[in-house]
Structure 1
């Protein structure tokens, strides 16, 4: 936005490198490129290595160049789900997981050896949505038929020359040749250097220098990114994920402030601790009673992430935001066979009928414990589903149809009443202005109150492969995937990584490697 209004900027030369973000952010970046083009300034892309995400952005530029040795891999999209049931069986670990929702796949990777029919159905639908959207948008941009785009992908084209011949790129040029071309286009002498400013430096330019701030009405942006936990744990970095107690402080300060007319809550989270999600839901609801709150969802707002969003007065998702996953998962590991194999023993002395419910990992649940565990998980799911129904003004039966732990794209979520609009942060701000009774033609100051958090830390780093280390590691793992001391409202991390492309690292494979290396 700044560059579009800045008279010092003639255009943008966009180097497109392999992207690690999900499709929601890719969709928004593409939209910003198309909006920038409306300013009349040029935007030229350069892609030395290009997959589907990179091309999705690159083809939105007015021109796209690549070097002769460029690596283009437009071969289609895949989604993978990995299963540890067989590995755990071999090493003597029995996951005892309660997951509520037939599509809630977060427990599958622990218990199963292969994909379930429900998980396959859900993943197939998500993949079809994402791939179909890619084909349609690329076809529209290139002025080709969708069938022709799909045929090109299925031909497995890798020759850069053919990409040029069929107008997938503008021309084959090295970076210096593109720079020389831009100099000539801007009327700069060959012996003069092209005046340029990189993104990091330009991002520090204050908006007020361009007359883009200082407006009377202010809208706050609160960012919530990463896995959800209630408090900062001993293995957490200062910027790790969404810490409920910290976010709640921020929400309360905004609620008490008269400075802001409305709030946009920017969510990018696969979920996490269910209690933390509910506590934040309550605070967001209280905030929404004092001023308009709009949820803007980026790559993913699933499970606990969606729990937060549904407290807002309106929800905006990207076309490909992974949305929903209204379900819960909890459990423990029975390590009895593992302990027997390695000659380790643990004795527990307890008082109270259910005192050993999650403390006794050396044995499976007793029948009465399993019953209580299942009832507890079902109760948590019922609370989640019913609050979702209340928040979205739906009947419980109607919400049940779209819940069950199923993940939807933003587009499908819209048609099922889980979100109110498809768009990015700019649309969320526009809706916030409308609900705050600010005329749409009146400019507002958008104030960032918190920056995006880093991705989920690798909580297992530094823990050795000793027996004591393995014991602590398993507890940390269970706390991350199926909490040993609480219920999780989270989406399958493996699925999210493959579809969304973000770095919410699941430590399961680190655990297995660590565990096996000790034998």
Structure 2
């Protein structure tokens, strides 16, 4: 009888949980249908201002999520616009008679270096129309100021914060913590500069890593200062001195050194915007936010291309590279390979642009994608456009293309392979009191067992596999870039380069953005009129029910709970991935504050 009641109770609980889940699904569907039904065209009034602020991470493509504004059930409700739509909107505003100017408003998140470069260049192009750009913020990070410096007028709150102190890069080393836990990181790698594994067996940067970081960080900083110097008409050496001596500590200092044009409160900025659009100070300012402007009916001069039967496919490869399907923020070898096959076999697609924004990942998955790029190249032109990163595995999948475009501050190269296998014997034995015993049918049957150290023979086997992977990598780059393998090895070894440096080394063909890559693809295909089509197909939230939606909700909830510490959670996940398969990955994430 007791067991019977347990069974009944368990059945009731299961029924209730199932009912709740079904109810939740129905509610989400209703909200989704409602959201899509209300996705109406936005009418832009005459004398309007396009307002741009970055309070969300900028991805390569705008997520296909009609529930983005609902913030429901742990799903990220923040509006997010991809770089693709940001560039389209700014270009559209340039020729839209209803848009008189752009208000670049304060932002608490700055896009990546190369992403910022593309947006900045789009703003510079917008100014050619004769329309104005006004920038205002209470807090200027260096990243946001780099964007804002192109504005006709740059203002800061009189009590605001202006950060101008140069670039730095800090790496967290875990060897001490691993030693305390009794965990040994067994490293197998190729490449003097392949420093992704250094945090696990060193307590500070190696000389080689310090050299490469100093080199690429200096290149990034020089480009940063050059851009501001040209926009603000300030000598670059003076800018270097301002940062080096930390001369800008207060808003008054920024004004004194002509980094800004005035100290104003928000109401004063709004009055100036009204004046520029011919309004009285008592009138309401007519503004349209970037996300809403995407839904407007304004037309551009390029709309005739939409009627063409010719297609140029943009295949987006963004995030870490792994096997499987991936999503908007990760590269799955299966989905990208499928997309490349689709565009290769589609006769309407005359050329392909592979947009790569990736620090790398699985060397095997990278090779799978590389193969599809090679096959596509034999069928039609394929041009690579590099984003913030196209390093290690990200470069692997790029090197076979007909031509490679990068921004000056793209991070690329890092041609190298590594693997990490933890030896947790001391942790299990000494910390937990856990021991292991067993039998095996062969000498190497338990190769990769983390409860014991590798034998010298096993280490040699794994090193040989990694060496073989590096040989394949350098051979692929040499063939794709028409260089000798010996030369690629000399500039490889895991060395990281900026886009500007990669031009000099022959790893990149031209500096330019994704639009430049599209134009190059069209020229190589011999077409003038064409329609852009994007791959892989984005899944809407309705395609994500089950494991996909559960993972998205889970990630969103963890991110909400951890806040700024979410990056450490992602690092732990990345380390776990490294232990599964040899990696062709960038040594670290680069953040410029």
User: Given the two structures, how large is their TM-score scaled by the length of structure 2?
Assistant: 0.76
Distance apart, 1:116 and its partner CA = 0.4
Superposition pairs of residues 100-499 of structure 1, within 5 angstroms: 100-156=190-246, 157-205=248-296, 212=303, 213-216=305-308, 217-231=310-324, 239-341=328-430, 342-358=432-448, 360-438=449-527, 442-450=528-536, 478-481=575-578, 483-484=579-580, 486-492=581-587, 495-498=588-591
Shift of residue 459 of structure 1?
12
Q: Compare relative contact order (CA 8 Å, sep 6+) and give the higher one, 1 or 2.
A: 1
Q: How far, CA to CA, are the matches of 2:437 and 2:295 in structure 1?
A: 59
**Equivalent-residue separation in structure 2 for 1:429 and 1:204 (angstroms):** 24
Give the Cα–Cα distance (whole angstroms) in 1 for the partners of residues 96 and 307 of structure 2.
Answer: 18
Per the TM alignment, residue 210 of structure 1 is displaced from its structure 2 partner at its CA by 6.5
Q: Contact 1:459–1:476 at 8 Å: present in 2 too?
A: no
Aligned CA distance change for structure 1 residues 180 and 377 (closer, same or farther; 3 Å): same
Q: Secondary structure at the match of 1:312?
A: coil
Selected match of 1:84 from 149, 171, 174: 174
Give distance in 1, aligned partners of 2:262 and 2:572: 55
Distance in structure 1 (CA, Å) of the matches to 2:383 and 2:353: 5
Aligned length: 478
Deviation at 1:142, TM superposition (A): 1.9
Distance 1:370 1:300 in 2: 31
CA deviation string 1:369-421 (max 9, x = no partner): 11101111101111111111011100011111111011100000011100100
What is the CA-CA distance between 1:87 and the residue it aligns to?
Answer: 1.2
The structure with the largest alpha-carbon Rg is: 2
Shift of residue 209 of structure 1?
Answer: 7.2
C-alpha distance 343-458 of structure 1, shift in aligned 2 (>3 A): farther
Does the C-alpha gap of structure 1 residues 240 and 17 become closer, same or farther in structure 2, counting only changes over 3 Å? closer
1:226, CA displacement in angstroms?
Answer: 0.5
Change (3 A) 1:166 1:399: same
1 CA distance for matches of 2:135 and 2:497? 31
SS in 2 for 1:272: strand
Q: Which moved more, 1:114-123 or 1:346-355?
A: 346-355
Does 2:134 correspond to 1:30? no
Deviation at 1:240, TM superposition (A): 4.5
With over 3 angstroms needed to count, the CA separation of the structure-2 counterparts of 1:432 and 1:357, relative to structure 1, is same
1:225-279 Cα deviation digits (max 9, x unpaired): 11011125xxx8x545111111111111111112222111111100001111001
Q: CA deviation at 1:331?
A: 2.4
Could you list the runs of 5+ residues in structure 1 that have no partner in the other structure?
A: 463-472, 502-519
Work out whether residues 225 and 452 of structure 1, in 8 Å CA contact, stay in contact via their aligned partners in 2: no
Distance 1:366 1:475, change over 3 A: farther
Q: Following the alignment from structure 2 to structure 1, what is the Cα–Cα distance between the partners of residues 183 and 101?
A: 58
Residue aligned with 1:277, SS: helix
Task: Quote the residue 2:145 is aligned against.
Answer: 55
Q: In the TM superposition, what is the alpha-carbon distance from 1:434 to its structure 2 partner?
A: 1.3
Deviation at 1:211, TM superposition (A): 5.7
Cα shift readout 1:321-368 (whole Å, capped 9, x = no counterpart): 00111100112100000011211123343223222111x211111121
1:446 Cα shift? 2.4
Asked if the contact 1:47–1:58 (Cα under 8 Å) also holds between the matched residues in 2, the reply is no
Distance 1:448 1:8, change over 3 A: farther
How much has 1:165 moved relative to structure 2?
2.7
Which deviations, in whole Å up to 9, do the C-alpha atoms of 1:160-182 show, x marking residues without a partner? Answer: 12212332111112222212111
Report the 3-state secondary structure (helix = DSSP H, G, I; strand = E; otherwise coil) of the residue aligned with 1:81. coil
Query: Aligned equivalents of 1:391 and 1:339: distance in 2?
Result: 47
CA distance 1:461–1:99, change in 2 (3 Å): farther
Matched position secondary structure for 2:472: helix
Q: Is the 8 A contact 1:332 1:478 kept in 2?
A: no
Take 1:394 and 1:309, find their aligned partners in 2: how far apart are those partners?
15
d(CA) in 2 for partners of 1:452, 1:105 = 34
Number of the residue aligned with 1:513: none
Q: Would you say the 8 A contact 2:411–2:499 is kept in 1?
A: yes
| 1:204 to 1:210, Cα distance in 2 relative to 1, 3 A | farther
2: CA distance, partners of 1:276 / 1:210: 40
CA distance, structure 2, for counterparts of residue 205 and residue 295 of structure 1: 31
Inter-partner Cα distance in structure 1 for 2:138 and 2:572:
43
Query: Which residue is 1:507 aligned to?
Result: none
Q: Aligned to 1:247, what secondary structure does the other structure show?
A: helix
* Conserved? CA contact 2:96–2:298, under 8 Å: no
SS in 2 for 1:133: helix
Paired position in structure 2 for 1:465: none
8 Å CA contact 2:106–2:136 kept in 1: the answer is yes
In structure 1, distance between residues paired with 2:343 and 2:171: 40
1:7-28 CA deviation, whole Å, 9 max, x = no partner?
2211111114133432111111
